[in-house]
Chains A and B, each alone.
Chain A
Amino acid sequence: MESKPDDYHISFFRPTTDSARRNRNMVVQLILVWAIAIFGFQILLKILEKPTPEEAWIIYDSVRDDIESGSTDPLVLKQASRSALSILGKVSIDPVHRDALDNLISWSAYNIADSAQKKTLVEKLQKFERLKTAEVDLRSFNYKSSKDDMLPLLQEIYGLAPHDVRSRIASVHINSGLMQNMSRKNISIVHEAMDLYLVHNRSVLTDIKFLGFPFHYFYTAVFLLILFVGLCWVYCVRTDMFNKKYEIAD
């Protein structure tokens, strides 16, 4: 160092030697790249985001007023039920929301079905519910066949295609005890659930695909980590070069 013995002083922002100055500049450059890459991108994501509804929300919104007024029009109930099933298929749902949505799909099925369908549905459903309380093994033949037995009827009632996963979800959530009434309170909870689960923060960064990923996900989960290793590598190589140039011993 070039300092006098009584003037020993180290400050990152006020380096006193050429090597310290170069080191400071390198550290500042790397930290700027690091900070902008991490926080800059997230801020950009925040700035660009727009609340974007799923298709299920748009469909529900078109019948929201009818549901609010207690309509039993089969077309309205089919659309509302399909949207409800789109939420019930999600992994994490609040139990209060789940119960209200169960109520909606059960009540709707009962009101959509004609009298013959109603009778068959209730019979099959009650048989399955008896098995559900008794059967432990979900892979047993009885349990599976009883559940699968309801699928064509549920697909017909809700207007779902055979490959639509929502009919499988319906067979587990529909409840014979919830078919007769749909309370005002549950209608409000369903409205709330639709707005909560079916509207998402999206932007051009989330909609572009890169290597199969949504771009923002790839950037954060994959690219940033590559960048971190790269920054560390650059620092080590440049420090080795500085140390050699300025003959700094390790």
Chain B
Amino acid sequence: MKKLSLLLFIALLLSPVCSASVAATHLEGSFKLGPAIILIIILVLFVLVGILFRAKDTTDFYAAGRGISRVGSGMAIASNWMSAASFLGMAALMYGSGYHGLAYVVGWTGGYVLLLILMAGQIRRYGKYTAADFIGDRYYSQGLRAVGAIIAIFISIAYCVGQFGGIGLMFKWVMGINYSAAVIIGGTVVLTYTLISGMLGVTKNMQIQYIIIIISFIIPLFILTAKFDYFWLLPQIGYGSVVSDVIAGLPVNETKELINSLGHDYAVVPSPEFAMPWDPPTGKTFFQWIAIAFSLMIGTAGLPHVIQRFYVVPKARDARWSVVWGLFFICILYWSAPAYAAFGKVLSAHPEVGTLAKDAIVVYTAQLGNVHPLIVGFLAAGGVSAAFSTVSGLLVAGSSAFAHDLYVRVINPEASPRKQLLYARLGTVLMAIIVTLIALQNFALIGQLVAVAFSLAGCTIFPLFLLGIWWSGSNKQGAIAGLITGGLVSLIAITYFIAGKSGVELPAHSFISYWLEAWYFAWIGAPLAILANIIVSKLSGPTPLEIRKFLIEQVHS
């Protein structure tokens, strides 16, 4: 951290030179030197940390040698979790859809309660490296192991697409290059350092990334609350008055000149739609709020890269406490994100501000609030950092599924550790290429793209873990039935989503799109998958004795 502080100090010394070139008369546009320097410093720092703590063997690559402390692991959980969807996407959803966006805040935090209470300690006790490992062993099937690995890869890809979108937006803003070039450059950098470091480097990086993410996110909020006369000592509470001001309307202040960076008054007409529940102009309903929160919560407990974090702590007790720390660290950001949406609503209220890219509203809000350009640059770098930390974890989870679960456990059990590592790296490269190609299509908001991965995990992996841990009667046939059911619901929802985006009208399109929208199809998919698993397990033979014995002696004793 000393190194980081020194580099930031040097960057701040350069500020008078840099700020002139980035005077914010327009929100988008040219190359921004100060923010670019900060971004480059941070990226170089990540690669250096990756090299210093690089993986030496497969145990290091997959599970960081199981030598990470509880608080450290909590920070890594938080960093791994706080993606571009949290950093950029959440404020975007609240800015665009008001109270509806809070379903994402609740969904992405409430899921950790389920994860801890139902799974964390037991997963660690089970002692496997990956989600597919657990599925293959618990359901004594190589086929299910392979399917689990393939699902893990799909989930990682879906999750990564949103992150690459966030990286693209931030690189575009900082460097003044187009979105496509920004996605390709950002993707190449994150791929490089994941390949160099593996999970050990990634875990160390994640701890540093957490600190950068949280500092960069909170500093502009202190400035904004102080500048516009709100309670600035705790901006996470101080912004409450901003929300009330947005609802009641804010007249032009005639005694004190409060303006945004474009010279417009800090004023807004009454806009209750920003905070009132499922407000008609947002086009969102009560059902959608509940379905999104529920899907995100069970998806949290089924995401391979989240589950995999519990393998890197020494004991089950550490796995449990690391969730508490992780959730607390996550909440610091989640308590803050709505503040950007509220300030953004007032600062961008004047029609001349125009239509802003919602996913970049965090950065635009700081910029419109006349926050110093270098601090805005640091904020953008924090956004990139958030996306990087998650992408690296996802790439490791995806490549683990490819090399460990598919190649070694199914295709070539005799593979040497060297060959295994080679395949892990090959898998990482392949995934990065696929993700880049999809991210270039710019399908939806970051938060929504990430929510697809959650619903997919909620429909497929969550039921297998839940029943696999808590009911020894769940057997291979039940697991297959559950997977087919969850997979079918996922397939229908995603097919209708892609068809809709491609302009193709399928039968009952509006009905399916509403009840099984891509962001929340797990609300029905997961319960159906659990039900199918239970019914088929009851109708078929018992689970083998050695599995039941293992569950009792290792997982629940």
Interface set of A (CB-CB < 8 Å, partner B): 1, 3, 5-6, 8-12, 20, 27, 30-31, 34, 38-39, 42, 45-46, 49, 54-56, 85-86, 88-92, 137-139, 144, 162-166, 168-169, 172-173, 196-197, 199-202, 206, 209-214, 216-218, 220-222, 224-226, 228-229, 231-233, 235-236, 239-240, 243, 248, 250
Contact = CB atoms under 8 A, between A and B. Distances in A.
17 contacts: A10-B551, A27-B117, A38-B106, A38-B293, A91-B345, A138-B352, A164-B252, A201-B278, A206-B276, A212-B241, A212-B243, A212-B244, A225-B106, A228-B113, A229-B331, A231-B117, A232-B323
Contact of B263 (A5, A56, A144, A214): A144
A168 B110 contact: no
Contact of A3 (B327, B351, B552): B552
A231 B323 CA distance: 11
A150 B352 CA distance: 16
Interface stretch (B37-45, B159-167, B264-272, B435-443): B264-272
Contact of A231 (B113, B265, B276): B113
Nearest to B323: A232
Contact of B105 (A197, A221, A232): A221
B236 interface: yes
Contact of A228 (B112, B321, B472): B112
A195 to B, nearest CB: 8
B186 interface: no
Contacts of B114: 31, 34
Given A11-B471, A20-B556, A138-B352, A163 B252 contact: yes
A34 B113 contact: yes
Nearest to B316: A250
Contacts of A232: 112-113, 116, 323-324, 327
A168 B320 CA distance: 55
Interface in B343-389: 345, 348-352
Contacts of B551: 8, 10
Given A11-B473, A138-B263, A168 B252 contact: yes
Contacts of B253: 163
Q: Which of A6, A209, A211 has its CB near the most chain B CB atoms (within 10 A)?
A: A211
B359 to A, nearest CB: 15
Contacts of A9: 472-473, 548, 552
Contact of B472 (A10, A220, A224): A10
Given A8-B472, A10-B548, A38-B106, A86 B270 contact: yes
A240 B317 contact: yes
Given A12-B470, A49-B277, A224 B552 contact: no
Nearest to B556: A10
Q: Which of A200, A209, A220, A239 has its CB near the most chain B CB atoms (within 10 A)?
A: A200
B102 interface: yes
Main secondary structure of the interface of A (DSSP, over half): helix
A215 to B, nearest CB: 10
B204 to A, nearest CB: 25
A241 B73 CA distance: 22
Q: Which 4 A-B pairs have the closest CB atoms?
A: A89-B269, A212-B240, A213-B240, A212-B241
A56 B270 contact: yes
B277 A206 contact: yes
Contact of B244 (A10, A56, A91, A213): A213
Nearest to A226: B331
Given A91-B345, A172-B350, A229-B328, A212 B237 contact: yes
Given A236-B323, A248-B557, 5 more contacts: A27-B118, A42-B286, A201-B278, A216-B277, A228-B331
Given A8-B472, A222-B335, A228-B109, A139 B254 contact: no
A212 B328 CA distance: 23
Interface in B530-545: 545
A30 B114 CA distance: 9
B106 A214 contact: no
Contacts of A214: 243-244, 247, 275
Given A8-B545, A169-B351, A196-B281, A202 B272 contact: yes
Given A10-B470, A163-B254, A221-B338, A92 B247 contact: no
Given A9-B548, A138-B263, A236-B320, A30 B243 contact: no
Contact of B110 (A27, A218, A224): A224
Contacts of A163: 251-254
Interface of B: 25, 95-96, 99, 102, 105-106, 109-110, 112-114, 116-118, 121, 231, 236-238, 240-241, 243-244, 247, 249-254, 262-265, 267-273, 275-281, 286, 289-290, 293-294, 315-317, 320-321, 323-324, 327-328, 331, 334-335, 338, 345, 348-352, 470-473, 545, 548-549, 551-553, 555-557
Contact of B269 (A20, A169, A202, A209): A169
A175 B267 CA distance: 23
A211 B271 CA distance: 20
A137 B321 contact: no
Contacts of B471: 10-12
A156 B419 CA distance: 80
Nearest to B274: A91
Nearest to B97: A92
Nearest to B326: A232
B472 A199 contact: no
Contacts of A46: 277-278, 286
A197 B281 contact: yes
B290 A39 contact: yes
Nearest to A45: B277
Contacts of B549: 5, 8
B273 A90 contact: yes
Q: Which of A38, A164, A225 has its CB near the most chain B CB atoms (within 10 A)?
A: A225
B117 A197 contact: no
A166 B472 CA distance: 66
A137 B307 CA distance: 51
A131 to B, nearest CB: 12
Contacts of A49: 277
A217 B252 contact: no
Contacts of A231: 113, 117
B232 to A, nearest CB: 13
Given A92-B96, A216-B277, A6 B545 contact: yes
Given A38-B106, A168-B350, A86 B269 contact: yes
Contacts of B112: 228, 232
Contacts of A169: 269, 350-351
A100 to B, nearest CB: 15
B301 to A, nearest CB: 12
Contacts of A10: 470-472, 548, 551-552, 555-556
Nearest to B328: A229
Contacts of B327: 228-229, 232
A90 B269 contact: yes
Q: Which of A166, A197, A209, A217 has its CB near the most chain B CB atoms (within 10 A)?
A: A217
Given A232-B113, A236-B320, A138 B286 contact: no
B469 to A, nearest CB: 8
A206 B280 contact: no
Contact of A213 (B121, B243, B250): B243
Given A11-B473, A30-B117, A217 B99 contact: yes
